[in-house]
Amino acid sequence: MEKRRLGNTDLHLTELSFGAAGIGNLYRPVSRDDAMATLETAWQAGMRYFDTAPLYGQGLSERRVGDFLQGKPRHDFVLSTKVGRLLKPITDGTVPDNGFVDALPFSITYDYSYEGIMRSWEDSLTRLGLTSVDILFVHDLESGGFPRGAYQAHLDTFCTSGIRALQELKSAGRIGAFGLGVNEVSACINVLERVTLDCLLMAGRYSMLDRAAAGALMGLCQDSGTAMIVGGVFNSGILATGAKPGATFNYAPATPEIIAKVERMEATAERHGVTLANAALHFPLRNRVVASVLIGTAKPTSLKRNLDQFENAVPEALWPEMDKIALGA
């Protein structure tokens, strides 16, 4: 599998990479055997960049990813996790519901300070059972996840305090890059206007259907040398399943307008001899700012299906037509 350099860093990521939220029991329980089989499928296919986070299963995903990678030569893979949330043991027996089934018994505290980020990094290494990670993403530092007023306080804390932790870790060679892992374009712009980042992990906002990140944010990335890793290329399902009854767009039922766009995209893809999912996987990689496309799954069969799709080339003549549909032309 081909690799791309991550912005101005010394890291190189495979064009397709593994997102480990699913194996942290996102929405459904996943056995350890199935998690390991999915990771092994990714490895055998040549995927060498893996992304996880403390949030995923409240530590479960990090434990599983770490267990799998402990047997691999350290220089053979790139690993990222996230900071901004600290896990604390549950004392009252009530495990919070963060969308992960049978999550580990930890509560979550947000902390974007210097001390909080350092603690988060150290705790992640312990859960992973590894001595290093390559990339740290500041997780979910965006307005939609906090009550009014709290977001600005967290943003100020990170930009005046937490950023120093990431800079120090990189200067000391403990990490190779740092960035922001969010879903909101405005959150990326708010941070990039105040501090320099190596990369962004952007979910769902730079897809064949949703071009929210293609304007001002992409311009900022190009000007600053900030790379982008793209997740959510299927927009939670509809660009994989097509415009079928019950199709979801960004984790909600697709609207009639979205259904109509995807129907046109399906017909266009078919006319060019490719599938909708194949085109969706290839779309972000047309832009050299994008270093990798992150695929999140907990099933070896679905991962293999996506990998098989990706092997098929997409004709250049397809893209202008898809652009017109996405932009409403």
Give pLDDT tens digits for 243-288.
999 999 998 999 999 999 999 999 999 999 999 999 999 999 999 9
Q: Tens digit of pLDDT for each residue in 169-188? A: 999 999 999 999 999 999 99
Which pTM does this prediction carry? 0.96
Range of the domain at 169: 3-326
Q: How many domains does the chain have?
A: 1
**CATH code, domain carrying 180:** 3.20.20.100
pLDDT at 270: 96
Residue 329: which pLDDT band, with cuts at 50, 70 and 90?
Answer: low
Measured distance CA(80)–CA(163) in Å, rounded: 17
Buried b (16+ CB within 10 A) or exposed e, 97-134: eeebeebbebbeebbbbbebbbebbebbbebbebeebb
Mean model confidence pLDDT for the chain? 96
- Write out the catalytic residue numbers: 51, 56, 82
Q: What is the rounded average pLDDT of the residues 102-111?
A: 96
